[in-house]
Structure formats: structure tokens, C-alpha cells
Chains A and B, each alone.
Chain A
Amino acid sequence: MFFRVENLTKKFGDFTAVNEVSISFEKNIITAIIGPNGAGKTTFVNLCSGLLKPTSGHIFFHGEDITNRKIHHRANMGIARTFQIVNIFQGLSVWENVKIPLLSRKNVKNLDDALNNLLALFNLEDLKHTISSELSHGDQRLLEMSMALALDPKLLFLDEPLAGINPQDRGIIIERIIEMKKRGITVIFIEHDIDSVLKMADEIIVMHKGEIIAKGTPNKIKDNEFVKEVYLGG
């Protein structure tokens, strides 16, 4: 299995944010994680990407146990992510922001070309010398995605990639996420906007109170009575 977690649990004191989650993800599939606020979606992604250490359980990538691997090790193995609140180098230029992840790749022959291609992919070429704190929120999101792609990831976690994005940029992001599948990237994303989820996802996971309550194709999830009750509002 490409990526799987076994009995993954995260407790914060008495509160269990993720409870005994076991699930596997196929290669080259776009999976959406949905669920009400406080369901444990972001905690789950934080555990998988290495930002948080699990209380118990294991994480496997390409069959290797990566539970105790550091963040940069995971990044070098091909696991990248974006954050719910845009996480970039605010004081550096767009060019420098994308260059930093590119520098960790040993196989890049022409750094400048790779950088220009990434910026072109997200329509950021004209802004490459702009200090990233001066970008609009939408452009910052696009920049963060280009930084994640600069790692040439095999597995990409996107935490609410469409949050606070205008309709035009939303279209670009959705298009790019769908394209990632063609590039052989497995995408796992958290999103609240169900219409966008249905456009992008091959598979949907529904989380509730730290547990996975349903998993399946978008049509199957839409028809799931329990999901309707706890999340989709009946």
C-alpha cells in the first residue's frame, strides 16, 4: 500500500483528537477529508506530515514505518504539505520562497528553469521579485502550493487549499490539484466546500470526533445516511 496509518491516536491531555484511525491510501488518487469542525482532520494531517507526534499508532509510506521520521526526512521522501493558514517565508521574495524547497532536491539540473516553470504553473512569474508578504491572499496560497510542488512530492497534503480564495484563483487551484494526479502525485486534502470536493475528489473520507466514519466515492458518501446526519445536515 502506498500510504497507510495503523491505529493512529493523538491525545491532548484528556481530549482525544484522533482516535485509533487505521486507513490506507492508494497511489495516484485524490482523497478529500471532510467533517465538522473539531473532527480531527487537521490533527490527522499534522500527524501524517510529521508536525505532531502520535500518542500511539504507526504511519507507513511505501511500506516503510515513518512514524518517528523527522519532518525534513519525510519531505525528502516525497511528502509535502500546505497549511490551513498560509505558511510561507513572508519576508522573502516569491523567487526565494520557491528556491528554498528546490534546494533540497539533488536531482535538479537547472534550478532557474525549474523555478520559472513552477512560478509559471501558478501564474506567479511576474511577481517573482515581490516580497511575499505583499502578495494577495490568493497569490500567497498559490505560492505555498508551488513551494510544495517544488519538492517534487509523491504525496501531497493540502489543508483547506480554497479557504479565503476568490473565484478566479479558486479555479486555478482546483485545476492544478486535478493536474497533480496526472503528474503522479497522490493528493489528500481537507476541504469544507462540498461542491469543490465533488469536483476534485476520487474518494472521500468523513471524520467525526477523531474517527473515520465513512470512506468511499463521492456518490457513495452523498448517499450515506450517517454522513448526512452528522455533517451534510440531513
Chain B
Amino acid sequence: MAKRSNNLVYLALVFVLLIVLCIPLLGKTYTNYIVIKISILALYGVAFNIMFGYCGLLSFGHAIFFSASAYALGVSLTKLNLPIFIALPAGLLTAVIFSIIVGFLSLRHKEIHFAMITLALSMLFWGIVMKWRTVTGGEDGITGITRSLSITSYYYVCFIIVLFCLFLIYKILFSDFGLLLEGIRENEIRVEFSGHSVIRLRMLAMIVSGFFTGVSGILWAFLDGAVTPTIAHWSFSAVPVIAALIGGPQSFIGPIVGTVIYVIAEDFITRFTLYWQIWLGIVVVLIVLFFRGGIVGTISKKISDLYYSKLKEKLS
């Protein structure tokens, strides 16, 4: 389950951390770009998974929060010429406001109904982004979002922010609040009979999820130097869904592992064909069929099964 962690995992994390910190030393801009992309999308995946893996709600609306914060930042910086210390909170606040709106409209529903409402809202938002040219730039989006940092410096800044956000999400999910969210996923009626308002908890989860998705949207805007409608499209909401399914939604690091595989697979396959989605689709289908709990879920289950069978042997 989500709370199974051991020293081996921590060691692996330290190892990964060291590798990530050393990558800029290679001096390859494209590699830096890909790792930044992975770290931003990993945060997006983990933030999304608060709703999916912990609350049991499959959202197809997270592109709204991601792009809303990016657009708000872009508008603040390039159209309103606001200073960055105002543009940043404006971006985050926009993501939070949209998460409240989406939550208000969708959180009384669950399963397919919740998924469809968030999908519909995502399509509606994309429509607005495309048509409201004076603000969003329509198909062209917003360009000219400049960052005063080199790609290498941005790499480290981005990495520290993502790491800090992941730490905060980890703290939130492994708190009493996180336990209540797991309770909702397991049995929402029992949570109500335990004296907690399920709607209130879900709304809080949506706000937290929206906030951190907003952080990833802002980091994305600075990475690309532009905001385009691609990130507002509902299909961009599917990115964390796929990442969570590949990695395993019921573990904290599942979406991170899933994102790494997703981005690398996308990057690798596009070198050979433009139709990379076909191959990625096949990978996702195979993982869903043969790794039910995702890669992390399946591996951790195998390890715990092995541990218990050895323990049984010892005891007998």
C-alpha cells in the first residue's frame, strides 16, 4: 500500500537525486530540457494523483489548473506588465480559483460521472482559451515569457521547487488528512459515518491538487517561454492519468516513475515515427493488463509477498 516504504527505496531515491544533480555537468541543453520537462510533469502527475490515487476520483480536468496558472502568469507578465512577484501568486491563485470552481461543479459526483464532468469542463475551458484571443492569444497563445536564468540555472531552480513541492505533498498525504483521503477512496460512506464531511475533504484535496498543478503550469510556462493552447487541451489532462497508470496510482512515487517512462518513451519513439501515440498506447495497454497496480505497485507487491513467504518459512 501507499505507506510501504523502506530503506531500499530511500537509497534508490538518493541515487536518482545524485544522477539528476549531475546531469547538467554533461553540458547538453536538450538533456537538461528533457529532465526539466520530466520533473515538471512528475509534479503534475503527483498533484493529479492526490485526486486519483488517494481520493479515488479520475479527473480529466487537471489541464485546466495547469494551463490556467500558466496563462495567468503569461497575461500578468506580458500583457499587464506586472512584476514577477505579483505574477507568480496571480498564477497560483488562478489555479486555486479554478480548482474550487471545478470542485464545486464535480465533487458531488464520482466514478464515470465525475470523470465526464471534469472532461466536459476541460473541453469548455479549451474552447474559451481558443476563442478569447484578446487575452489568451487564441491558437498562437502567449509568447515572450522570459526567464532571466540560463537553462542550467533554471534546471536547478526548477528541480529544487519540484522537490520542495513533492516534499510538501508527501507531508500532506502522509498526515491525518491523507489518511482521511485514503478512507474516502476505500469507503466514503464509512468516512461520513466517522463524522467527516466527504465533500469538504474532497474539496480540500482538489484545492491542494489544483495548487500544485498550478505550480507545475508556471514552471512549464517559464521553460517554454510561451503558453500555448496545447496545455489547455483535454488530452493534456490525460498525461498524468497515463503516468499514474504506468507507475501505479496507489503509491506516492508511482506517478513520478510513470512520468519518467512516459517522457523518455515519447522522446525515444518520436525519433523513429511521428505516430508515437500508437506505441505509447500499446505500452499503456500492456502495463494495465499485466501490471495491475502499475510498475511500482506490482514491484512492491512482489517484494512484500516475497518477504511474507520468507517470514512464514522462518516461523514454520
Contacts and interface: CB of A to CB of B under 8 A. Distances in A.
A100 interface: yes
A137 B194 CA distance: 21
B103 interface: no
A92 B182 contact: yes
A228 interface: no
A87 B189 contact: yes
B179 interface: yes
B191 interface: yes
Contacts of A89: 182-183, 186-187, 190
Contacts of A151: 194-195
A99 B189 CA distance: 16
Nearest to A104: B195
B192 interface: yes
B192 A70 contact: yes
B85 interface: no
A89 B180 CA distance: 11
A145 interface: no
A87 B190 CA distance: 7
B29 interface: no
Interface in B121-147: none
Contacts of B176: 99, 103
Interface stretch (A4-12, A34-42, A74-82, A164-172): A74-82
A91 interface: yes
Contacts of A72: 192-198
A67 interface: no
A100 B191 contact: yes
A105 B195 contact: yes
Interface residues of A, number: 26
A147 B194 CA distance: 8
A51 interface: yes
B278 interface: no
A100 B183 contact: yes
A104 B196 contact: yes
A101 interface: yes
A80 B194 CA distance: 8
Contacts of A88: 187, 190
Contacts of A31: none
A84 interface: no
Contacts of B182: 89, 91-92, 96
A89 B187 CA distance: 6
Nearest to B191: A100
B16 interface: no
Interface string A86-125: 0111111000100111011100000000000000000000
B196 A91 contact: no
Interface string A120-150: 0000000000010000000000000001001
Interface string B204-227: 000000000000000000000000
A101 B179 contact: no
Nearest to A99: B179
A221 interface: no
A70 B193 CA distance: 10
A49 B185 CA distance: 22
B313 to A, nearest CB: 19
B186 A91 contact: yes
A99 B194 CA distance: 10
Given A88-B187, A89-B187, A103 B180 contact: yes
A81 B193 contact: yes
Given A51-B189, A87-B189, A92 B183 contact: yes
Interface in B72-98: none
A101 B187 contact: no
Interface string A40-54: 000000000101000
Contact of B194 (A49, A90, A104, A131): A104
B112 interface: no
A208 B190 CA distance: 29
A125 B121 CA distance: 48
B195 A70 contact: no
Nearest to B1: A91
A96 B179 CA distance: 8
A87 B187 CA distance: 8
Contacts of A81: 193
A115 to B, nearest CB: 12
A96 B198 CA distance: 17
Those 9 A-B pairs whose CB atoms lie nearest each other, nearest first = A104-B195, A101-B194, A75-B195, A71-B192, A89-B186, A76-B195, A100-B194, A100-B183, A72-B192
Given A80-B193, A92-B179, 8 more contacts: A70-B192, A70-B197, A72-B198, A96-B183, A100-B180, A100-B191, A103-B176, A131-B1
10 contacts: A71-B193, A72-B197, A75-B193, A89-B183, A91-B182, A91-B185, A100-B194, A103-B179, A147-B190, A151-B194
